[in-house]
Amino acid sequence: MSTVRTAVLPVAGWGTRFLPATKAIPKEMLPIVDRPCVAYVVAEAVAAGIHNIVLVTARGKTAIEDYFDRSPALELALETAGKRDLLGEVVAIARHAKIISVRQQEQRGLGHAVLQAAEVIGDHDFAVMLPDDIVDGRTWDAVGNAKVETGSSPALGQMLDVYAETGGVVVALKEVPNADTNRYGICAGIWVAADRMKVERMVEKPKPELAPSNFSIVGRYILPGSIFALLREQAPGAIGEVQITDALAVYAARGEAHGVIFKGRHFDTGNPVGLLDASLHFALHHPVYGEATRAMLTKHGQPGG
Ligand code: G1P
């Protein structure tokens, strides 16, 4: 049995890449088809058996908490209107995840955001999920039927399987073009299986010419509670922020960190093009809207479409 019970989701950011849309709503509430981005990430946690979600939040972000809460007035209205399916779905959202919020009063980087969860987590091992990173673990057969290939859950479930063997730190990995290493945490080490690296070095946002590899960290981490002591003492690193990667590098140097190349389609929804990419993907594979989306793409692909 996994000892990881809680996932921390840092959601305090301004979402400046999505202004003006994010002037009045959190970027985590921007929709992909019919549900907000953050719902895909919480669903991934739940599929991996993690039901406690700590939101590291900030002023103006209460819509996220409301989304995962019960809504008696809405439920009554749906019940009265006989909309049983929608009612079931709305109630289930609040049942599957237990939400705890902590505030990040100043934005001093990802490491600082995670540190805000210290009192809630104590010395337990825990997961961190960055909601910009969305993973679809399904694959499709020749006639378009979806099946879940991973057996557990997109990314996080696969990482928990590795963690059950290794303990310590586990991060999700993805190969990126050499020119892009300065956008990510980068890991280097020894491949102990085709999809598993024993990480020896981690560097945050290295310039391509200084990067030790081109395997980047995707926003999924399993971390030991001992990381909080390191984060409390840690000086700001890359771009003047307290970086989680710098704390993880300590575990890597001790041989206590692994990276997993996960199965599944990954989307970086932290920018409008990435969100569009994810939206098209989930719309094309949506049981209700898939066909209409394909027709729309054909229309838009034609001159004057
Ligand atoms: C953060 C992490 C970085 C990681 C990335 C994944 O960077 O600091 O190590 O590779 O998330 O999305 P950010 O996207 O906040 O700049």
- Domains parsed from the chain with CATH numbers: 6-299 (3.90.550.10)
For 62-91, how does the pLDDT look when each residue is reduced to its tens digit (9 = 90+)?
A: 999 999 999 999 999 999 999 999 999 999
Q: Find the mean pLDDT for residues 211-240.
A: 96
Question: Residue 276 C-alpha to ligand 1 middle, in angstroms?
Answer: 20
Q: What is the pLDDT of residue 112?
A: 97
- Span 189-223, pLDDT tens digits: 999 999 999 999 999 999 999 999 999 999 999 99
pLDDT at 149: 57
Q: Grade residue 139 by pLDDT with cuts at 50, 70 and 90.
A: confident
The ligand 1 atom at the shortest distance from the C-alpha of residue 133 is 12
Would the CB of 110 count as within 6 Å of ligand 1? Answer: yes
Predicted confidence (pLDDT) at residue 154 exceeds the cutoff of 90: no
Q: Across residues 250-263, what is the average pLDDT?
A: 97
pLDDT classification of 150: cutoffs 50, 70, 90: low
How much is the average pLDDT of 90-111? Answer: 95
One-letter identity of residue 44: E
What atom in ligand 1 is closest to the CA of residue 238?
Answer: 8
CA separation (Å) from 152 to 9, 148, 184, 224, 247?
20, 8, 26, 22, 28
Cβ(155) – ligand 1 distance below 6 Å: no
Q: Where does the chain show beta strands of DSSP type E? A: 6-10, 31-32, 35-36, 52-57, 98-103, 126-129, 133-136, 138-140, 146-148, 169-175, 185-193, 196-204, 215-223, 257-261, 265-268
The answer to whether 173 touches 216, Cβ cutoff 8 Å, is yes
Rounded distance from Cα 59 to ligand 1 centre (Å): 22
CA–centroid distance, 151 to ligand 1, in Å, is 27
Query: From ligand 1's centre to the CA of 183, what distance in Å?
Result: 7
- Across the strands, what pairs with 201? 188
Query: From the CA of 205, how far away is ligand 1's center (Å)?
Result: 8
pLDDT for the residue numbered 1: 45
Using a 6 Å cutoff on CB, does residue 204 contact ligand 1?
yes
172 lines ligand 1 (CB under 6 A): no
pLDDT value at 143 more than 80? no
Q: What is the pLDDT of residues 283-292, one digit of tens each?
A: 999 999 999 9
pLDDT score for 2:
54
Nearest CA to ligand 1 atom 15: 110
How far away, in angstroms, is 141 Cα from ligand 1 center?
33
How many alpha carbons lie under 13 Å from residue 59 in its C-beta half-sphere? 4
| pLDDT at 261 (0 to 100) | 97
Mean pLDDT of 53-64: 96
User: Which helix or strand (DSSP H or E) is residue 276 part of?
Assistant: helix 272-284
pTM of the full structure: 0.95
Give the model's confidence band at 304: pLDDT under 50 very low, under 70 low, under 90 confident, else very high.
Answer: confident
Atom of ligand 1 nearest to the CA of 218: 6
Q: Is the CB of 186 under 6 A from ligand 1?
A: no
- What mean pLDDT do residues 40-51 have? 95
* Confidence band, pLDDT 50/70/90 cuts, at residue 127: very high
